[in-house]
Chain A
Amino acid sequence: MLSRRNPQLNAHGELIHLLSIEGLPKTVLTQILDTAGTFLSVNDREVKKVPLLRGKSVFNLFFENSTRTRTTFEIAAKRLSADVINLDIARSSTAKGESLLDTIANLSAMHADMFVVRHSESGAPYLIAEHCAPHVHVINAGDGRHAHPTQALLDMYTIRHFKGDFTPLTVAIVGDIVHSRVARSDIHALTTLGVPEIRAVGPKTLVPGDLREMGVRVCHDMAEGIRGADVIIMLRLQNERMSGAMLPSAGEFFKHFGLTADKLALAKPDAIVMHPGPINRGVEIDSAVADGKHSVILPQVTYGIAVRMAVMSTIAGNDA
């Protein structure tokens, strides 16, 4: 049974797992962003390692492949001095028929202190958080279409770094919103941090009108969607969407919703362009824009490590 309170927070309102941005108060988000700022400076040191998680074991459980996210979690944990164990679950125990909870029970018997979980099923990290020992912490590294909270936090860090204040901003999220856990988590984070205008931009098949219930402005026209925007978050167009009836072709999508210099000119002159990666050049974003002066795609990757260090050290320091 899930307890009535948010399972991510302990009785003092402190973060013990990071499963979703939804339901987290602004103070918790801001604390993580502030802490990430401290960790960013660790990169500039002679010794790029701090001992906060010394003696702790972090298990990366990727039931779904993601080299980049897994690598940044691994670097983050290692910079905090944790022992990191990467398990290619997709090819091991589950393939032999072991249930998720049996896998977790076995790994817990190996004295795991933290699980970083990516899973194709929405809610899998919740299930793990519910059944693991009280001293074990769980981080959701992306579950189904549901949430990708560390990506949202690194996006918020990037926006705060370049724009300072959230409250005057217009943020456009462009592309396949309906299937995107990044978009969902970004929308929750932007709303909590006080962004007054969030736009969801894309074709009707990928940006349905009921997204308005999340408090966003739905735009099926790219020019309308990015006009005057301070921040443009482009999403990866997943190839598998092309095979269904959702889109006629990649070329057609690029023509209408791909970010080119011409379309970018409609945004504010100092707009920043973000992308969670991996980017599909010529599908959702033109190379000239991805590599251009408005792009902050590579800083996002760097900030991602500091943000994940902040999340890990924050939850590890709080008792259930």
Chain B
Amino acid sequence: MSTLHLDAEALYADLLAGLRTLLKPGSALVGIWSGGAWLAERLQRDLKLGGEHGVISSALHRDDFGSRGMAAGADHTRLPFDVEARHIVLIDDVLFTGRTTRAVINELFDFGRPASVTLAVLVDRGGRELPIQPAFSAARVALPRGQRLSLARDEQGRFSFDIKDAT
């Protein structure tokens, strides 16, 4: 078991502050399912952006489909705005290898050609396998490769982190 303690609510406050500097006029928030989608939902509200945030799933563009198959029960992409010529800010809870980010960028381009794509994350845990870097991360941590870090949300909408040993 890890003794790492991450205060997800405090990190969220940092992410919120970081987002204010990243947003351009007409930017749209797109949360990566599932943890990133929760974050985008709350950021949309706290930043008083109006309209709806987008949700994006990596399921249809994953590079491990051949070995892992279809993810059961995965939510599907919902982008309630035109992607064409938009500044898109992707939001994720944890950035690790970068493979999910690569897959959702491909997914995004199936809907149009955005003006730009930026990535902001709650936690960057290193271990990148692709040339992808976030424009903002609220924290950087080092974890053994075998451990899984993911965001959880309780009934009141408060965030916390789950750290598990991968099976």
Residues of A participating in the B interface, judged by any CB pair closer than 8 Å: 14, 31, 34-35, 37-38, 41-42, 45-47, 49-52, 310, 313-314, 316-318
Contact = CB atoms under 8 A, between A and B. Distances in A.
B60 A317 contact: no
B72 A31 contact: yes
Interface residues of B: mostly helix, strand, loop or mixed? loop
Query: What class of interface size applies to chain B in its complex with A?
Result: 10 to 19
Contact of B59 (A14, A38, A47, A318): A38
B68 A34 contact: no
B13 interface: no
A310 B70 CA distance: 9
A50 B70 contact: no
Contacts of A310: 70
18 contacts: A14-B69, A31-B70, A31-B72, A31-B73, A35-B70, A38-B57, A38-B60, A38-B74, A42-B60, A45-B110, A45-B111, A47-B111, A50-B60, A51-B60, A310-B70, A314-B69, A316-B69, A317-B69
Contact of B76 (A38, A46, A313): A38
A318 B69 contact: yes
B139 to A, nearest CB: 32
A37 B110 contact: no
Nearest to A44: B111
A52 B68 contact: no
Contact of B65 (A34, A37, A49, A52): A52
Contacts of A37: 76
Contact of B70 (A41, A46, A49, A314): A314
Nearest to A48: B110
Contact of B73 (A34, A42, A49, A50): A34
A50 B69 contact: no
